[in-house]
Structure 1
Amino acid sequence: MNKTQTSTNHANKLAIKMATALIIGLIAGTSFIFLRENLISSGNSDTWTMINNLLFQDITNKEASNAIGIFYIVGQLFINSLQLVIVPMVFTSITLAMCNISDTKKLGRISYKTILGFLGTSLFALILAGIFGLTANKLGLFNVSIDNIASSEGSIASNPLLVFVQAIPNNITSVFGENGRVLSIVFLASVTGICINSLGDEILVLKKLLQDINKIITTFLTFVITKFGPIAIFVLITRTFAIYGVDHLKPALAYVGTATIALLIFLSFGYALFIYFTTGLNPMIFVKKISKVALFGFSTSSSAATLPLNTKTVVEELGVSEEIASFTLPLGMTINMNGTAIMQVIAAIFIASSSGYEVTVGNILIISLLALIASIGTPAAPGAGAIILFTVLTGMGYQNDAAVLAYSLILAINRPIEMLVTSLNVVGDAATCVYVSKSENNLNEEIYNG
Structure 2
Amino acid sequence: MEADVKTVKSKSLIRRYFEINLLYKILAGLILGAVFGAIFQNATGAIEILKPFGDIFIRLLKMIIVPIVTASLIVGCSSIAPSDLGRVGAKVLLFYLATSFFAILIGLGVGIFLEPGAGLGITGAASAQAKAANAPSMSQILVNLFPTNPIEAMAKGEILQIITFSLFFGVALSFVKDSKDERLSKLGHLIYDVFDGINHIMFKVVGWIMQYAPIGVFALIFIVFSQQGVKAFGPLLGVTISTYIGFIAHVALIFTLACLAIKISPLKFLNKVKSPMITAFVTRSSGGTLPISMKTADEDMGVPKQIYGFALPVGATVNMNGTIIYLGICAIFIANAVGVQLDMGAKLTIILTAVLAAVGTAGVPGAGAIMLLMVLESVGLKVESGSAVAAAYALILGIDAILDMGRTSLNVGGDMLGAVFVAKNENSLDMSKWE
Comparing 185-194 with 386-395, greater Cα deviation is found at: 386-395
Is residue 36 of structure 2 the alignment partner of residue 28 of structure 1?
Answer: yes
Comparing 241-250 with 336-345, greater Cα deviation is found at: 241-250
Comparing 294-303 with 195-204, greater Cα deviation is found at: 195-204
Counterparts in 2 of 1:254-333, with a 5 A limit? 254-277=238-261, 279-333=262-316
Q: Please tell me whether the aligned partners of residues 37 and 225 of structure 2 are also in contact (alpha carbons under 8 angstroms).
A: yes
Partner of 2:148: 170
Partner of 1:3: none
Partner of 2:102: 124
Q: Deviations over 1:325-382 (max 9, x none)?
A: 1100000000000000010111112222223432122211111210111011343698
- 1:391 Cα shift? 1.7
CA distance in 1, matches of 2:415, 2:23: 19
- 1:160 Cα shift? 5.2
CA distance in 1, matches of 2:376, 2:241: 21
CA distance in 2, matches of 1:431, 1:12: 28
Q: Structure 1's 111 and 245: CA in aligned 2 closer, same or farther, altered over 3 A?
A: closer
Q: Please tell me whether the aligned partners of residues 99 and 197 of structure 1 are also in contact (alpha carbons under 8 angstroms).
A: yes
* SS of residue matched to 2:156: coil
Comparing 253-262 with 287-296, greater Cα deviation is found at: 253-262
CA distance in 1, matches of 2:420, 2:119: 38
Q: Please tell me whether the aligned partners of residues 30 and 242 of structure 1 are also in contact (alpha carbons under 8 angstroms).
A: yes
Q: Deviations over 1:231-284 (max 9, x none)?
A: 22222111111111544553333222211221222234431232112x111111
Comparing 188-197 with 372-381, greater Cα deviation is found at: 372-381
Partner of 1:106: 84
- 1:435 Cα shift? 0.3
CA distance in 1, matches of 2:397, 2:242: 16
Give the letter for the 1:196 counterpart: L
Q: Deviations over 1:117-173 (max 9, x none)?
A: 111211211111111112233x87363436769434535433552433321223334
Give the letter for the 2:433 counterpart: I
Q: Structure 1's 412 and 89: CA in aligned 2 closer, same or farther, altered over 3 A?
A: same
Partner of 2:433: 447
Partner of 2:7: none
Is residue 46 of structure 2 the alignment partner of residue 55 of structure 1?
Answer: yes
Is residue 395 of structure 2 the alignment partner of residue 409 of structure 1?
Answer: yes
- 1:439 Cα shift? 0.5
Q: Please tell me whether the aligned partners of residues 277 and 412 of structure 2 are also in contact (alpha carbons under 8 angstroms).
A: yes
Partner of 2:216: 232
Is residue 54 of structure 2 the alignment partner of residue 71 of structure 1?
Answer: no
CA distance in 1, matches of 2:19, 2:422: 23
Give the letter for the 2:212 counterpart: F
CA distance in 1, matches of 2:230, 2:206: 36
Partner of 1:211: 196
Q: Please tell me whether the aligned partners of residues 302 and 380 of structure 1 are also in contact (alpha carbons under 8 angstroms).
A: no
Partner of 1:18: 26
Q: Please tell me whether the aligned partners of residues 358 and 371 of structure 2 are also in contact (alpha carbons under 8 angstroms).
A: yes
Give the letter for the 1:325 counterpart: Y
Give the letter for the 2:90 counterpart: Y
CA distance in 1, matches of 2:398, 2:144: 30
Structure 2 residues without counterparts, runs of 5 or longer? 1-17, 178-182
Q: Deviations over 1:290-336 (max 9, x none)?
A: 11221111100100111111111111111111110110000000000
CA distance in 1, matches of 2:344, 2:129: 29
Q: Please tell me whether the aligned partners of residues 135 and 361 of structure 2 are also in contact (alpha carbons under 8 angstroms).
A: no
Give % identity: 31
CA distance in 2, matches of 1:243, 1:325: 37
CA distance in 2, matches of 1:293, 1:376: 21
Q: Please tell me whether the aligned partners of residues 142 and 254 of structure 1 are also in contact (alpha carbons under 8 angstroms).
A: no
Alignment TM-score, normalising by the size of structure 2: 0.87
Q: Deviations over 1:147-202 (max 9, x none)?
A: 769434535433552433321223334311222x2222111111111222222343
CA distance in 1, matches of 2:393, 2:126: 10
Give the letter for the 1:17 counterpart: K
Give the letter for the 1:21 counterpart: G
Q: Please tell me whether the aligned partners of residues 154 and 387 of structure 1 are also in contact (alpha carbons under 8 angstroms).
A: no
Say which structure, 1 or 2, has more relative contact order (CA 8 Å, 6+ apart): 2
Partner of 1:62: none
Q: Structure 1's 314 and 150: CA in aligned 2 closer, same or farther, altered over 3 A?
A: farther
Is residue 365 of structure 2 the alignment partner of residue 357 of structure 1?
Answer: no
Partner of 2:180: none
Q: Structure 1's 108 and 406: CA in aligned 2 closer, same or farther, altered over 3 A?
A: same
CA distance in 1, matches of 2:119, 2:168: 48
CA distance in 2, matches of 1:254, 1:439: 40
Q: Structure 1's 70 and 267: CA in aligned 2 closer, same or farther, altered over 3 A?
A: farther
* SS of residue matched to 2:118: coil
Q: How many residues align?
A: 406
Give the letter for the 1:285 counterpart: K
Give the letter for the 2:296 counterpart: T
* SS of residue matched to 1:416: helix
CA distance in 2, matches of 1:364, 1:120: 18
Partner of 1:196: 173
CA distance in 2, matches of 1:234, 1:164: 39
Partner of 1:222: 207
CA distance in 1, matches of 2:130, 2:63: 30
* SS of residue matched to 1:251: coil
Partner of 1:47: none
CA distance in 2, matches of 1:261, 1:120: 20
- Decide which of 396, 416, 432 is 2:418's aligned counterpart: 432
Partner of 1:88: 67
Give the letter for the 1:145 counterpart: I
Is residue 189 of structure 2 the alignment partner of residue 183 of structure 1?
Answer: no
Q: Please tell me whether the aligned partners of residues 336 and 425 of structure 1 are also in contact (alpha carbons under 8 angstroms).
A: yes
Give the letter for the 1:423 counterpart: S
Q: Structure 1's 268 and 236: CA in aligned 2 closer, same or farther, altered over 3 A?
A: farther
* SS of residue matched to 1:158: coil
CA distance in 2, matches of 1:149, 1:243: 24
